[in-house]
C-alpha cells in the first residue's frame, strides 16, 4: 500500500507560486480573488494584471522623448469617456472608455458618428493608462504616434451590456450623446461603432 507524504513548508512554496502564476495568466483579478479568497493576494495580483495590460503601451513609447503619461496611477472603477483627435501621419480619432483600471482604446479613421445612421470602423489598439484621458499635446517627430493630440469630446459613459464581441454603452459627452454600440468583427481587432436609434 502506498503512503502519501505531506510536503514540508519549504516544498509547498513552489506549488503556491504555480497556482498564482496560472491565475495571473487569466488576467481576471476578480476571479482570482474569489478563487483564492485571500484579501492579501488580491491587491498585488490586480496590480500585476494592470501592468500586463499596459505592457504594449509602454513598449511602444520612449518616455524620455514623449510627454505622454507613463501610466503610474491606474485602478479605480471610473467611467471616463474621451475621444482624442490625433493628427498623426493619418488623422484619426481615438475613442477611450475606462474599464478595469485602464482606458480601452479604439482608433477611428473618420469623424466619430454623432448621429444615427453613420457607421464607423473602430480598430482596437493597446490599452492606455487612465491619465491619458487628460493628455493633449505634441508627440515629437520620430516617436510612436508623432503629431498632435487634442481632446475632441469627453464625458462619462454607462455600461449597458458587455460581451466578448459586443459592447453597448450610453455615452454622455459633449458631441456624442445617447446609446452607442461597438460590435467586433470575428477574430479581429476591427469593430463597428455606431449610434443606436
Binding site for Mn ion (CB under 5 A): 86, 94
Q: Which is nearer to Mn ion, 68 or 94 (CB)?
A: 94
Q: How far apart are CA 174 and CA 102, in angstroms?
A: 22
- In the complex, the smallest distance separating the C-beta of residue 59 from Mn ion, rounded to whole angstroms, is 16
Q: Which is nearer to Mn ion, 19 or 146 (CB)?
A: 146
Q: Which is nearer to Mn ion, 124 or 172 (CB)?
A: 124
Q: Which is nearer to Mn ion, 86 or 104 (CB)?
A: 86
- In the complex, the smallest distance separating the C-beta of residue 92 from Mn ion, rounded to whole angstroms, is 6
Q: Which is nearer to Mn ion, 74 or 147 (CB)?
A: 147
- Residue number of the CB closest to Mn ion reads 86
If one counts every other C-beta atom within 10 angstroms of the C-beta of residue 176, the result is: 23
- In the complex, the smallest distance separating the C-beta of residue 88 from Mn ion, rounded to whole angstroms, is 6
- In the complex, the smallest distance separating the C-beta of residue 170 from Mn ion, rounded to whole angstroms, is 24
- In the complex, the smallest distance separating the C-beta of residue 100 from Mn ion, rounded to whole angstroms, is 21
Take residue 93 and report the three cell numbers written for it.
Answer: 480619432
Please state the three-class secondary structure of the chain as a single string: CCCCCCCCHHHHHHHHHHHHHHHHHHCCHHHHHHHHCCHHHHHHHHHHHHHHHCHHHHHHCCCCCCCCCCCCCCCCCCCEEEEEEEECCCEEEEEEEEECCEEEEEEECCCCCCCCCCEEEEEEEEEECHHHHHCCEEECCCCCCCEEEEEEEEEEEEEEEEECCEEEEEEEECCCEEEEEEEECCCCCEEEEEECC
Q: Which is nearer to Mn ion, 94 or 127 (CB)?
A: 94
- In the complex, the smallest distance separating the C-beta of residue 93 from Mn ion, rounded to whole angstroms, is 8
Amino acid at each position: 500500500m502506498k503512503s502519501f507524504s505531506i510536503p514540508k513548508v519549504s516544498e509547498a512554496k513552489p506549488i503556491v507560486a504555480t497556482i498564482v502564476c496560472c491565475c495571473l495568466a487569466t488576467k481576471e483579478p476578480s476571479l482570482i480573488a474569489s478563487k483564492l479568497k485571500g484579501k492579501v493576494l488580491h491587491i498585488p495580483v490586480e496590480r500585476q494584471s494592470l501592468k500586463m495590460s499596459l505592457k504594449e503601451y509602454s513598449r511602444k513609447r520612449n518616455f524620455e522623448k514623449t510627454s505622454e503619461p507613463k501610466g503610474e496611477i491606474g485602478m479605480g472603477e471610473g467611467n471616463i469617456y474621451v475621444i482624442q483627435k490625433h493628427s498623426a501621419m493619418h488623422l484619426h480619432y481615438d475613442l477611450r472608455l475606462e474599464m478595469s483600471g485602464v482606458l480601452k482604446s479604439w482608433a477611428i479613421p473618420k469623424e466619430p458618428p454623432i448621429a444615427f445612421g453613420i457607421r464607423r470602423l473602430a480598430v482596437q489598439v493597446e490599452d492606455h493608462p487612465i491619465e491619458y484621458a487628460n493628455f493633449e499635446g505634441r508627440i515629437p517627430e520620430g516617436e510612436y504616434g508623432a503629431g498632435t493630440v487634442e481632446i475632441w469630446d469627453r464625458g462619462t459613459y454607462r455600461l449597458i451590456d458587455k460581451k466578448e464581441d459586443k459592447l453597448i454603452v450610453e455615452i454622455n459627452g459633449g458631441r456624442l450623446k445617447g446609446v452607442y454600440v461597438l460590435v467586433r468583427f470575428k477574430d479581429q481587432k476591427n469593430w463597428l461603432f455606431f449610434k443606436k436609434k
